[in-house]
Amino acid sequence: MHERLPDGGVIRKLWMAEAAKYRDHLLRLDPNSRRNRFAGVVSDSFIANYVALSIDLDGIIHGYFVAGVLRGAAELRPLGSELAREAEAAFSIEKPWQSLGVGSALLSRTLLAARNRGIGLLHMACLADNRRMQQLAHKFDAELTFDFGSVVGEVEAPHPTPVSMLREIVADSHGFATAMLDVQARLLRSA
């Protein structure tokens, strides 16, 4: 779980109060990454509205932080009723941090969160020409199957286990501790 990430970055869940960090990260995506993330061309104001709506209690967003700045994110959003046990996942990594394993680490963390919530089917909104996202999903072939232009993955073990729960708790406490260090470092800098 404590994978080595580029630039000493850490992965942790975003808090609701961190909407501005998420918005700024999405706005920093280069045009091609932005198109891939939203499966089409979208404006800055679309992104601002999207974030205002998407940061809520339903979704789980894991963030990849470097020196306190959000450089990558993975959103997991339950779809339909609780009984449907389906969710959608979407990924965004800023260009300088692409192809360095961050997407793999975020997908692995997202699958763990999905599994612990009994989510059996994971839809990944992905354009047909997005080779990298498809390659990334292929790495989790045991857990994912593909469908047309969009990637639809089935989480292999829909039931949480004590070990999978513990892995998420450990990952969260690590992330939380690091987040606290970030806050302390900022307070010291501004003092």
Where on the chain is the footprint of ligand COA (CB under 6 A)? 33, 36-37, 90-93, 98-104, 125-126, 130-133, 135-136, 139
Q: Which is nearer to ligand COA, 33 or 116 (CB)?
A: 33
Q: How far is the CB of 160 from ligand COA (least distance, A)?
A: 25
CA distance 159 to 182: 34
CB 130 within 8 Å of CB 36: yes
Q: Which is nearer to ligand COA, 55 or 130 (CB)?
A: 130
Q: How far is the CB of 95 from ligand COA (least distance, A)?
A: 8
Strand ranges of the sheet holding 151-154, from the earlier edge strand across to the other edge: 10-13, 60-66, 69-79, 86-93, 121-124, 151-154
The helix/strand/coil state of 1 is coil
Q: How far is the CB of 32 from ligand COA (least distance, A)?
A: 7
Q: Which is nearer to ligand COA, 49 or 99 (CB)?
A: 99
CA distance 130 to 33: 10
CA distance 144 to 148: 13
Q: Which is nearer to ligand COA, 147 or 180 (CB)?
A: 147
Kindly state the tokens that stand for 13.
């869940």
Q: How far is the CB of 144 from ligand COA (least distance, A)?
A: 13
